[in-house]
Amino acid sequence: MELQLPKGTRDFSPEEKILRDKIVNALKEIFELYGFVPLETPILERFDVLSSKYAGGAEILKETFKLRDQGNRELGLRYDLTVPLARYVGMYPAIKMPFKRYQTGEVFRDGPVASARYRQFLQCDVDVVGSSSMATEAEVITLINAAFSKLNLKVKIKANNRKLLNSVLVYCGIEKEMQEPVIISIDKLEKYGMTVVKNELKEQKIEETKISKLIDILNIAGNNDEKISQLKKILKDSGGLDEMGQLISLLRNTNIEIDFDVSLARGLSYYTGVVIEAFLSNGSVKSAVCAGGRYDKIISSFLGKGDYPAVGVSFGVDRIYDALIEKQEIKRKTSTKVYIIPIKTLNESMKIAQKLRDAGINTDIDLMEKGPSKNLEYANSLGIPFVAFVGKKELEENKIKLRDMGSGKEVFLDIEELIARLKD
């Protein structure tokens, strides 16, 4: 047996796990602040659910881990949390709409492991099912803003509307069958620049006049209101543009200025209205740290019934983690506040540990009677901020020696003083 992990999977050490948990807990707190409720669905799903026509699609299905149970039933590991949400909504018709749910959980994709793609990763989703009001998008964008502010990360939130993008393509005279590849090219604008996009469009044999019409629109500058009024002059009647105006106006209520970006597309068949991506304003993490949008057709197509307009976004925990590390977020190896070193006083030390824990202080204690220098090394290696030496002589005077591992300063305290000092 080789001690190895499956390709594309990771262990998270205590140090990493503490920070990851902190991120996820901060996100959950914000989700609940915005009235979302948690849902948990199993990691195993029936393969026919995962592979049904309106589920993740052929590309994703190629990367789906497939297995069978002892009854030879075909199962798969979920590849996202949206298909399970659609299944859940279909199985429980009594759910009150709008259903504002969040879910965090592991998803699996058996894809190539190059360029930091993982085969198991944490998905962290909020979705509102059952509301077609534009206030839903405003609510979700406000939530994104609150979440990153909670994480002390500055973000720029970009938004666009797929209906608007369609109007633009129609206006430029792009034929129906060319709209998909053109949108894929436009989506590359932010990352690769205008020249690359232009060349791609030429390779797709789009006529020069159409390309220049399109580029003129993509080049429209100004603040959001200016962009909207310029687009209005060109496009005349566009539902998508009206929606963007409405969204921008609703967001004034929560003091959020999005970055309206006509080139933002986010893939193809999935989204039907507003699309959203959030980017960090600082640091080297350039990809979106949160993304999503409105998908009004997916759930009802998947279920083959009903009308389930929906808006949802995913938070990228791995990227947020990288950004916090880059910002030198303190990595802690333990949440232990004090480490008790008994010096031939195991019984008394256990009693003291109990008193500290009863007071809510995260306390560890040497169980192995290792001796002071080995114990200090242990506490130091874990970054525990305080060490308490419990010696026989000191105990007779009801004193415990507390050492601040940062400054090296030592003080003698009785148990009440010790509790008070550590509760700070």
Please, which of residues 379-398 interact with its own copies by CB under 8 A? 381-382
Establish if 67 lies at the interface with its own copies (CB under 8 A): yes
> In the complex, what is the shortest distance from the CB of residue 17 to its own copies, in angstroms, rounded to a whole number?
4
- Check binding of 100 to its own copies (CB under 8 A): yes
Residue placing its CB nearer to its own copies in the complex, 12 or 192 = 12
Q: Which of residues 19-58 bind its own copies (CB under 8 A)?
A: 20-21, 32-35, 37-46, 48-49, 52
Residue type, 357: R
368 near its own copies, rule: CB under 8 A = yes
Closest distance to its own copies from the beta carbon of 373 (Å): 14
Least Å from the CB of residue 239 to its own copies: 19
Strands 386-391 and 363-365: unpaired
DSSP letter at 360 equals: T
The nearest distance, CB 286 to its own copies, in angstroms, is: 26
Q: Which amino acid is at 403?
A: R
Q: Min. distance of Cβ 107 from its own copies in angstroms?
A: 10
The window from 125-133, 207-215, 283-291, 400-408 that contacts its own copies (CB under 8 A) reads: 125-133
CB of 223 to its own copies, least distance (A): 20
Among positions 179-218, residues that touch its own copies (CB under 8 A) are none
Q: Is 61 in the site for its own copies (CB under 8 A)?
A: no
Identity of the residue, 133 or 230, whose beta carbon is nearer to its own copies in the bound complex: 133
Can you tell me which of 125, 139, 243, 261 binds its own copies, judged by CB under 8 A?
139
Nearest of 64, 161, 144, 163 to residue 102 by alpha carbon: 144
The set of residues, in sequence order, having a beta carbon less than 8 Å from that of 398 and lying 6+ positions away, is 414, 415
CB 90 within 8 A of CB 78: no
Query: Cα–Cα distance between 227 and 18 in angstroms, integer?
Result: 44
Residue 75 makes contact with its own copies by CB under 8 A:
yes
Count of beta carbons in the 10 Å neighbourhood of residue 380: 12
Is 119 a binding residue for its own copies by CB under 8 A? The answer is yes
Q: CA nearest 230: which of 252, 253, 262, 201?
A: 262
- Measured CA to CA, the distance from residue 45 to residue 68 in angstroms comes to 11
């700070």: which residue's tokens?
424
CB closer to its own copies, 119 vs 403: 119
Residues 221 to 250: which contact its own copies by CB under 8 A?
250
Is residue 153 within 8 A of residue 280, CB to CB? The reply is yes
Q: Least distance (Å) from its own copies to the CB of residue 333? A: 7
> Which residues in 140-179 contact its own copies (CB under 8 A)?
142, 146
Instruction: Collapse the DSSP code of 309 into the 3-class scheme (helix H, G, I; strand E, B; otherwise coil) and give the result.
Output: coil
DSSP 219-235: T--S-HHHHHHHHHHHH
Count residues near its own copies (CB under 8 A): 100
301 near its own copies, judged by CB under 8 A:
no
Return left, alpha or beta for 190; rule: phi > 0 is left, psi -120 to 50 is alpha, else beta: alpha
CA gap 154, 415 in Å, rounded: 43
Query: What is the bridge-based pairing of β-strands 386-391 and 400-404?
Result: antiparallel
Positions in 308-347 near its own copies (CB under 8 A) = 333-336, 339, 346-347
Nearer to its own copies, 173 or 304 (CB): 304
